[in-house]
Every structure is written in structure tokens, then in C-alpha cells.
Amino acid sequence: MQAKLLGALGALLATAFLAGPASAADKTKIDFWFGNSGDIAKRVQEQCDRFNQSQAEYEVICTSQGTYDASLQNTIAAFRANKQPTIAQVSDAGTLDIMLSGAYYPANKLMKDMGYDVDWKDYFSGISGYYATSKGEMYSFPFNSSTALLYWNKDAFAKIGKDHAPTTWQEAGEDLKKLKDAGYACPLGFDISNNEVWQFVEQFEAVNGEAMATKRNGFEGLDAELIYNKNPLLVSYIKDLKTWYDAKLAVIKNKAVGQTFIEAFAAGDCQMILTSVGDHGNIGRTAKPGMNWSVSMLPTYADAKRHSSFVGGASLWVLKGHSEPEYKAAAAFFNFIAKPEEALTWSTVTGYIPVRNSGFEYLKSQGFYDKAPYTGRELAIQSLTASPADDTAPKGMRLGGLLQVRTEIANGLQAIFINNADVQASLDSAADRGNQILRRFQQTYKNVQLP
């Protein structure tokens, strides 16, 4: 069902626009739909409230749709009823789908038309590169941005005589065995669901400089093909991870077993995990009292040169079919959330990182990263900018139906870890299924050139 929804997005959105009704209130009101839930949803609402209280001309009504997928589906339904929101949050995985739909008012054009002078080069290259066109144009506003980090228990590592996290997966394997020998039942907690493919496969490929797909991960054409299954470092890494799993050095932790790997780390039950910097705040609030922990950049494999990791999270798209006053309201909202002071507040109450250099420099000037609850989050910036600007490695993923591709990769991992299927054969099969998804997407946008 989801694949059909994503595949039909462009055709649906391109024909479904009507101007939204004018507001009768004094303030110009606009809708902003987002997919975050729980604590992050509260933080988004607080940001909306701050904007509304900062001026008297506009009011943004922010409504959580529960999940990224639900937000996308609800947005499609809204277009059918000609009630689309002015602003919609789209996850990183849905970028190409919305980009080819033509359903949006490009961010760079919006801000210029509304009289704002935006320094688009102020965005971190590791973030802008993921969302920008081939010409470097920004069609959406990076919003809740993150990348994956390694979280490690300093107390546990002290017991095996170490004061630092592993920098390579070979070193990690040695540490896992020592932690197991020291009596820890879960040296590494992990999951292999489609939500975790982002960090265990895509981010691995990113930091090691391997491509997930041809055509620079799809940035250079819709005819891209998945090749992660042919990359020697990734195949060796998955084999190592399976070996560690069989030896109980790595333990699957998810809701099905009663405890997610994030909960297990915060409780002190697992000593290492890979997860988003966006979870830093939550772990800080829920960690077992007295537990000493930290973060580091993801390990590389063997002697691989470190490359920039990929940005995760979502960006904000302004949708077609609205009035100029509504677009002025949207531009004013974007100008507000881009302020360095707002970046400080946002990063304080979440684990997300500032998306602009100016915001990052402001946080440093305020001593943000010197404070215990936030120390280490700057490593996410270092990870996203580890490569020079002229690095030829892909800057992200630009594949249609990426959510479905991730599901097929997760199915392949399930076969390996749960059913003891052959690693290479399972990765090959998952790539074949993923390529079928890419070909269907390509057929939907036949003869379309990527922007």
C-alpha cells in the first residue's frame, strides 16, 4: 500500500491543487503538518508557539500526524480534498518523491519572492548536499537534522581498561569480546528493522566511502541501481556482525523482546549502540542515575578513509495552492526558526543539530557543548563534514521509493540473522527486490530529468 502511495505521489500532487480559503481572522493562519510524535512533537509545538508569540501578523498551526509515513499519506488525502497544508514535513527518504511531484514552492524562490536574503551557503554541506538539486538549489528547508553516532558506556569500558570508544570495527570486535568476558550480557545492542537500515547500512557505506547505488546514489539519474551488495567492506561487516551475534557479543533489542536498544543502553543493559544524535537528549534524560556515557563518530572498517556521514531527519516543504499572505507567513516562520538563538533553543530541548554554520558558531559562543548534558553532540557536525567539499563520494541518497528499498534490505538482514541465510545471497536478493522498486519508480517518471 505504501509503495503505491509513494509511486503515485507525483501524479496525484501535480493535479490536485486549489488555493486554500482565505482566513477571516486578523492574523494570517497557515497549517504546518509534521510527522514527529512523543517528546519531539511537544518540542515542535513549543517552537510554533514561540513564533506565534514573537509577532502579531501570522499564526502557524502545527499539527502532528504521528509518523512520517502517516504525514505523507494524510498530505496525499488532503490534496484530494484540496485542503493541503501550507507547510509539510517530509522525511529524508521521501525527498525525491516530493521533488519530482512539482507540488511545492521552491524554498529558495519563496524566500527571495517574499523579500528575505538567505545565505544558502550557510547550511552545512553535509546537510545541504542531501537536499539540494544538482545545481545546489535548495527546494526545502532542512529542519530536524541528525546523523548516526556510536554511544558507549564509559563505566563498562573502564572495566576492560579503555578510556575511548573504538574507531574501527576491528577494534570494536575486540572490545565486544572483552566486554562479554567482563560479564556484560549485551556488549552491543542493535536492531535490524527497516528504521535501523539507515544507520547500520547506509551510514556505514557513507563513512567508508562506498556507494549504495550507481549514479552517485541516484543523484545523477533515475536509472540508478543498488550495488551495496557488491561492496566488499559492507559484506565483510555484515558477516562480522553476524559472527558477533552468534557469539552473543551483539544482541537484538527491540519492542518485540520488551526493550529497545536505546532503552537498553540508557538502562545500562547494553554497553554500545548506534543511533541518531537526535536520541542524545532522550538518553540523557532517561539514563540510569550515575551512569557515565558518551558518544563518538561511527567506526570505519579496516583502513578505510573516513568520509562524511549522511544527514537524517526531515525537511520542510512549502506546498502549492496558497495565497501570497500565506506564503509570507511561511517565509516569516522559516526566517524565525533559522535564527541562531532559535537554533540554540531547538538543540537544547532535542538532540538535533543546528543546520547552519551560523547556528553552530552561536552555540559554541554560548558554551553549549561545554555543558555536560550536551557534550559530544558537536561530533555530529564533525561527522557530517568529515570530507572536504570536493569529495567525490555521494552526499546522500536520492532514490525513489527509498522507504520500500529500506524494507527490502531489512528483510534481507532478517533472513541472515534470524534464519541463518547466506549473507551474500541474502544481500543479493534484497538488492534485486530493491532494484525492482527503483525500476517501477523510474517508469512512473519516464523521461523526467532530475533537477
* 255 pLDDT higher than 50: yes
Task: Tell me what the mean pLDDT of segment 234-262 comes to.
Answer: 95
Amino acid letter, 244:
W
- Kindly report the pTM of this predicted structure: 0.88
- Altogether, the residues listed in the chain come to a count of 451
Tell me 198's DSSP state.
I
Residue-wise pLDDT for 139-166, tens only, equals: 999 999 999 999 999 999 999 999 999 9
CB half-sphere exposure, 214, CA atoms < 13 A: 10
Q: Contact at 8 Å (CB) between 387 and 310?
A: no
Q: Please check the confidence at residue 177 and state whether its pLDDT lies above 80.
A: yes
What average pLDDT does the chain have? Answer: 90
CA 366 to chain centroid: 26
Hey, what CATH topology would domain 2-146+311-377 get?
Answer: D-Maltodextrin-Binding Protein; domain 2 (3.40.190)
Confidence of residue 16 (pLDDT cuts 50, 70, 90): very low
Distances (CA, A) of 213 to 139, 175, 231, 307, 404: 23, 32, 10, 16, 15
What are the pLDDT digits (tens) for 390-419? 667 778 899 999 989 999 999 999 999 999
Q: Where are the domains of the chain?
A: 2-146+311-377, 148-309+392-444
State the pLDDT confidence band at 17, using cuts at 50, 70 and 90. very low
Q: Give the N- to C-terminal CA distance of the chain in Å, as an integer.
A: 27
- Do the first three CATH levels of 2-146+311-377 and 148-309+392-444 match, i.e. the same topology? yes
Q: Is 376 left (phi over 0), alpha (psi -120 to 50) or beta?
A: left
Place of cell 544507520: 199
Domain 148-309+392-444: homologous superfamily in CATH: Periplasmic binding protein-like II (3.40.190.10)
